[in-house]
């Protein structure tokens, strides 16, 4: 604000007057505004114990000051013993030493200086705004690249999680399938011990078919389901760890992007309700079996047809029961139960396969919110770029809207400067005269 100052009264401390630091400050001020009048007030003069010492301090201080400021004067002042006389003397000192004949002209010159500085500032701000817009556009374009990269990385990450989780489920189901493929035929063949020579061979197919279904159902409910429930719980625990890792990855990603944006703009929260749904479905599927009876011995194969017919024809004759017993027993123990086993497993795994078919969709739902947040950030960034490009285009297409108004002030300012005979070599510091004509 030195260019707005008329005069300068510099206050010194009588205990240590005109130090090197004060000297350097004043010399810097003089370099900045060489026409500025500088005088001094020596404060706390009452701290000096004698009048002779006061005179000595005044003389020494004046000598050192006049070396750098030959026209400067010093006024001794007591801050403790103020009086009306001292104030009157100070007023007279100021009026006498700060006497400007052309103060109005000088103040006008100062005002014109600040007007020109303001015009220069406005022109610089225009350029600064254009540069800021260009920088903002470039920065947002870089963010577009980062956001697109984040979406692509998340897509790959999601596919990896889908593959891992669904593959681990299939591996678990394959284990159970292998056990069923091995054990169901054994269970069916073991039903041969239900046949005896006293059996009613006329209804043997119906009774044995029912018994076989009961044994298979008991095996599935008491052995397979508990093992399957435990395997499903382990699978859900593994899947939970994988999805927790996904959330950690997304939190790190959102933290990095938000640090670039400088605000908490992106929230990548996953939907863990998916795991609750899986737990509920697992509990439902492994609690009990709902499966219709399977036709094991009533499928109308040639062998079964002959046995059934023979049972009805010869079952009433005692001498034929031994033959039928051996034939039935031999048939049950040697029959190929591959198709029957496949049919049982198909019915048993029906709801588990339906559950498997929804896993990919469920994992998509888990990642849906993060994808939507990233896509929304991408869209917002596109809009910011478009908005700033439109503003920049408007500024560059019509610069006269801004510059013409400033030019009117520039011309009026120059007229005032000519009237006051202010040339381009004026002594005001930090002035850069710029006239921009578009």
Supply the DSSP string of 66-89, one letter for each residue: HHH-TT--EEE--SSS--HHHHHH
The confidence band for 309, taking pLDDT boundaries of 50, 70 and 90, is very low
DSSP 298: -
Q: Are the C-beta atoms of residues 340 and 117 closer than 8 Å to each other? A: no
Chain segment 239-296, per-residue pLDDT in tens = 999 999 999 999 999 999 999 998 898 999 999 999 999 999 999 999 888 788 888 8
Decide: helix, strand or coil at residue 349: coil
Mean pLDDT, residues 330-347 taken together: 88
Q: List 39's β-bridge partners, or say none.
A: 9
CA 141, distance to chain mean position in Å, is 17
Q: 3-state DSSP: the chain helix, strand, coil percent, rounded to 5? A: 75, 5, 25
Q: What pLDDT digit, counting tens, does each position of 110-156 carry?
A: 777 777 777 777 777 878 888 899 999 999 999 999 999 999 999 99
Of residues 265, 250, 253, the one with CA closest to residue 140: 265
Predicted confidence band at 1 (pLDDT cuts at 50, 70, 90)?
low
Question: Tell me: the pLDDT tens digits for 183-194?
Answer: 999 999 998 888
Please give the pLDDT value at position 311: 42
Give the model's pLDDT for residue 292: 83
For the record, the structure tokens of 128 come out as 């600064």
- 347 Cβ contact partners less than 8 Å away, ≥ 6 residues apart: 291, 292, 294
Q: What is the pLDDT of residues 379-405, one digit of tens each?
A: 999 999 999 998 888 877 777 766 667
Which of these CATH numbers, 3.40.190.10, 3.40.50.300, 3.30.230.10, 3.40.50.2000, describes 2-99? 3.40.50.300
pLDDT for 226 beyond 60: yes
How far, rounded to the nearest angstrom, does the alpha carbon of residue 417 sit from its chain's CA centroid? 56
Q: Which of 43-57, 305-319, 325-339, 376-390 has the lowest mean pLDDT?
A: 305-319
- Domain locations in the chain? 2-99, 142-378
Mean pLDDT of the chain: 82
């Amino acid at each position: 604000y030195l260019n707005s100052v008329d005069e300068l009264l510099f206050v010194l401390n009588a205990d240590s007057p005109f130090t090197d630091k004060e000297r350097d400050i004043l010399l810097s001020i003089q370099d900045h505004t060489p026409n500025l009048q500088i005088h001094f007030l020596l404060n706390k003069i009452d701290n000096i114990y004698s009048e002779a010492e006061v005179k000595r301090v005044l003389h020494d201080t004046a000598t050192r000051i006049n070396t750098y400021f030959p026209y400067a004067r010093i006024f001794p002042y007591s801050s403790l013993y103020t009086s009306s006389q001292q104030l009157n003397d100070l007023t007279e000192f100021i009026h006498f030493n700060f006497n400007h004949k052309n103060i109005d002209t000088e103040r006008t010159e100062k005002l014109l200086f600040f007007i020109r500085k303001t015009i220069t500032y406005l022109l610089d701000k225009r350029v600064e705004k254009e540069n800021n817009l260009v920088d903002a556009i470039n920065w947002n374009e870089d963010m577009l690249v980062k956001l697109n990269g984040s979406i692509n990385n998340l897509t790959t990450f999601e596919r990896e999680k889908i593959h891992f989780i669904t593959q681990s489920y299939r591996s678990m189901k394959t284990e159970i399938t292998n056990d069923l493929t091995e054990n169901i035929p054994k269970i069916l063949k073991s039903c041969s011990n239900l046949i005896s020579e006293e059996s009613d061979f006329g209804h043997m197919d119906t009774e044995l078919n029912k018994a076989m279904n009961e044994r298979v159902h008991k095996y599935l409910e008491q052995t397979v389901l508990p093992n399957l429930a435990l395997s499903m719980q382990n699978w859900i625990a593994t899947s939970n760890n994988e999805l927790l890792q996904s959330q950690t990855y997304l939190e790190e990603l959102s933290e990095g992007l938000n640090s670039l944006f400088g605000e908490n703009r992106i929230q990548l929260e996953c939907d863990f309700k998916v795991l609750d749904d899986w737990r509920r479905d697992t509990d439902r599927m492994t609690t009990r079996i709902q499966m219709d009876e399977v036709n094991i011995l009533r499928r109308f194969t040639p062998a079964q047809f002959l046995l059934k017919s023979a049972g009805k024809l010869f079952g009433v004759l005692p001498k034929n029961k031994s033959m039928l017993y051996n034939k039935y027993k031999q048939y049950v123990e040697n029959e190929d139960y591959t198709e029957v086993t496949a049919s049982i497993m198909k019915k048993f795994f029906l709801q588990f396969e339906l559950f498997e078919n929804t896993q990919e969709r469920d994992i998509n739902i888990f990642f849906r919110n993060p994808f939507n947040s990233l896509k929304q950030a991408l869209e917002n960034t596109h809009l910011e770029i478009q908005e700033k490009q439109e503003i920049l285009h408007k500024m560059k297409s019509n610069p006269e809207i801004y510059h013409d108004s400033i030019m009117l002030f520039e011309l009026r300012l120059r007229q005032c400067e000519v009237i006051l005979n202010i040339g381009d070599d004026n002594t005001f510091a930090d002035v850069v005269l710029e006239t921009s004509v578009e």
